[in-house]
Each structure stands twice: as C-alpha cells, then as structure tokens.
Structure 1
C-alpha cells in the first residue's frame, strides 16, 4: 500500500487522464489489464531491461503506482533529439532489447490485455504504442524510458516495429516533421539496421508500414462511430486525417523503402 503525497497532473502520454506524479512515483487509474501489465513490467526489470517503469503496487485510492521517469516526452517539441543517426539507432536497439527481453515472458493465466487493434499470429507481448509521445528522455543523464504500457498485449515484433518506424523515423506526410525522401529512406535503413532485422523480415516490414499506419485510421474511424473516448475526440480533432495521409505517403514510397532496406 502506498500513500499519496502532493500530486501533480502529468500530460506526457497520449492518453493521460487521471495520471499524476506523487513524489518519485506515478499514479494511474487501474483496469482489468493492470495485473498483467504489472507482471510484464516486473519481468522486464527482473531480466535487466530498465527502459520501462517499475510497478510498485496499488495505492490507498486503488490506483497503480509506478516509478517516475524524469525528463520529458519527445512529442511534439523535442523530435530533433532523434536527428543524429546514432540517437535513432540507440532507440532501435532499445526496442530490440525490449522484444528480446519479453520473448521468454509467460503471462499470468488470467491475463486480461487490452491492445486496441488485435493482431493475428502474435509472437510476443507487444507494447502497441511505441511512439514519440511515449518516450521520455532525461537529457542530463541520457536516460530513455518507454511509458504507457496499458495497451500492451499479444502482437508481433514487426507490428510494433512498423508503428515505431512511422513515429520515430518520421514517415509522415506532415511537412512540419517530414524529412526529404532520401533522408527518410536513410533514416529507415539506420533504424532497421540497428534493430538487426534479417532480410525476410525486411521484406515483410515494407508493406506492413502502410498496413499498420492505415489500421490506426480505421480504428479511430470505427471508435468515433461508436462514440468511444478518447478516440472519438482524436477523430474530431483531425487525427484520423493525419493517419490516412501518412498511410498514403508511406504507400507511395514503397519502392524507395524496399531499395533502402534491401540494396
């Protein structure tokens, strides 16, 4: 049991309602998925993967308690931290290390995950939202922490990697964040090389870049039709249009990505 101290609302993640900092901890609302997520995070720390919060139990108000990650998220104002190729490669290795660390994780028999988009033939417990708004970087200590694990659940390495590439490599139609095509292709190669993806999976990743991006548009569209929050608000504020434009951008450059990854 953890008693609360003075609390400060946190807004770093994509869905942050009810998330607060209390001392060196974060307090978040729980759900049916919380025991499984805590088991996952406990496993990661037990095998030496520390780029994720550590679960500390439940407080007197029924909220989960996690270690606080100092720093700030990359999105939207600190994307330049990934401009150097070595920093982008460092992040790709961090994701690969997570996928390797979770490979021998055995979920609790009653695990109740909540990934927002089901994935066929899962091979790992994936994060499902590896994105700039869920990466906290503390520049003075060069500590990188992936946050917002509530959406973790059965998935695949490539599903996670395709989504991460869209956000971190910045495969986007948005001119404020888009790199010139040749640079975008080179950054994708850097990212995939650092992840150590083999040739068959590189071939599989290229079309998945489009599929994964379009899946987010379709998910938001369907959830908005149901009035489900926070997705309906995201749809009303233009997130769906952004995902659709990005899917078109990625698909139009399929040959470029293929050449970059396989030549």
Structure 2
C-alpha cells in the first residue's frame, strides 16, 4: 500500500493520503486529508448529481494516475478477493464506498482507506463504485434520500463523467452480476477465516443484502441496459 501511495504522490495525484513514515511503535503515519466523509444515513450533499459525477471523475483520475504503477512481483495482495475474469489492468481501490470518499464544499476530493486495493480492471472498480453510489441495491437497503432514485439515470451520469465508452458500458451489467456473486463468496470466506470486523459485517446482514441487490439487478436489467446504451 505504501508503494502505491508513494507512486500517486510522485505522479501528482492529490486525491489520496501521503505516506509520512513509521513511528517508533511500528505504526504507519499518513497525512490527514481535510474534509468530511458522508456516513450513513447519507447527507444531502453526497447524493446530488454533481457529487455523483465528481466521484466518477475522481475514480477516473485515480485510474489514470495508478495505471503506470508497477508493484513488486511479491506484493501480498488478497488472494481471496473478488475480481472479474481476465488479466488485471491496474491496482484498483476496490472499496469506493461513501465512507471512503472525502468531500469538501459538497464535492469529492480524495479517496482514503486503500486496504482492499489490488490488481483488477477499471471496469471492476467502476462497478464496485456504482454498487454504492448509483446505488445498485434493493430499495429496502438504500439510504433514505436514495430510496426512490432513478438508478439507471445515475449509472449513465457516472459512466458519462468517468468517460466509459459504449463498448465498456455494455459490460457494466454483466460485470455487476459477476461481481455480486463473487463478492458474496469472498465476504463469507473472510468472515469465516478472519472473523473480527469481517464477521460483524457478515452477521450484520451483508449476505442477504448482496442477494437482494442481485435479485433487484435481474428484475431491472432491461431498464438499466436501455439507460446505458
């Protein structure tokens, strides 16, 4: 992770913390990113079209900045993490949830919490971000301000702001389908193997939420597909 963050600093990406070193107790020291993260229930500033498009542009800037990073061959990436098929293109953030995006003045300015970063594809990071920000979720599991959201429209806004071309847009829904299934299995495995926070998340209903999101995606597939065309 430190190599990744140092690379982002070298190439001038200002949307991530800086590595400042290790203290005498072996703890990492990162720079403080000023601003606020939108915890749930989501505040109004975080659900606007401008915020959504800002997140898309931030993720795109991150992808462009990280695309030239060459991690060590023996880097210990999470081998149980969910991914799409095919060779990785870059080191994705893979966890662009609202809690991991720093806002200032109502607009997203930085990503934090790179613990789940790993080799993946741009599309996987896009789909994972859309899972939380569109959101691709059953209405029962959305924040109140997004309960009745036009998810297809929000997905299109995100893809436009990111600059996803038409061919890649055709892969968003199939990728989301694969991502849900593999994420369910990966989270269950982490909960059983690692316990702790992963077990709390799992036993707090993560599995059923993923399954409800899968069902919602299938029921609304044609509608979403039409918006992305």
Structure 2 gap segments, 5+ residues each: none
Distance (Å, rounded) in 2 between the aligned partners of 1:111 and 1:224: 23
Equivalent of 1:256 in 207, 214, 223: 223
Distance (Å, rounded) in 2 between the aligned partners of 1:116 and 1:149: 16
For normalisation by structure 2, the TM-score amounts to: 0.89
For normalisation by structure 1, the TM-score amounts to: 0.78
Distance (Å, rounded) in 1 between the aligned partners of 2:82 and 2:133: 22
Is 2:111 the counterpart of 1:149?
no
* Match of residue 155 from structure 2: 188
CA contact (8 A) 2:58 2:110 kept: no
How many residues align? The count is 224
Question: For each residue in 1:11-53, what CA deviation from the matched residue of structure 2 results, as whole angstroms up to 9, or x when unmatched?
Answer: xxxxxxxxxxxxxxxxxxxxxxxxxx11111111211211111
* Match of residue 26 from structure 1: none
Is 2:87 the counterpart of 1:87?
no
CA contact (8 A) 1:114 1:150 kept: no
Alignment of 1:154-233 (within 5 A): 154-175=119-140, 176-177=142-143, 178-180=146-148, 183-226=150-193, 228-233=195-200
Cα distance, 1:117 vs structure 2? 1.1
* Aligned CA-pair RMSD: 2.0
* Match of residue 100 from structure 2: 134
Equivalent of 2:210 in 243, 255, 258: 243
Closer/same/farther in 2, CA of residues 166 and 79 from structure 1, 3 Å limit: farther
**Following superposition, which runs of at least 4 residues in structure 1 exceed 4 angstroms of deviation?**
none
CA contact (8 A) 2:15 2:109 kept: yes
Cα distance, 1:118 vs structure 2? 4.7
Partner-residue secondary structure (3-state), 1:68: coil
Is 2:17 the counterpart of 1:46?
no
Cα distance, 1:228 vs structure 2? 2.9
Partner-residue secondary structure (3-state), 1:238: helix
Partner-residue secondary structure (3-state), 2:170: helix
Distance (Å, rounded) in 1 between the aligned partners of 2:48 and 2:199: 36
Cα distance, 1:90 vs structure 2? 1.3
Question: For each residue in 1:113-136, what CA deviation from the matched residue of structure 2 results, as whole angstroms up to 9, or x when unmatched?
Answer: 236515341111111111112112
Closer/same/farther in 2, CA of residues 72 and 252 from structure 1, 3 Å limit: same
Cα distance, 1:169 vs structure 2? 1.3
Cα distance, 1:207 vs structure 2? 1.4
Higher-helix-fraction structure: 2
Distance (Å, rounded) in 2 between the aligned partners of 1:194 and 1:214: 27
Distance (Å, rounded) in 2 between the aligned partners of 1:233 and 1:84: 30
Partner-residue secondary structure (3-state), 1:52: coil
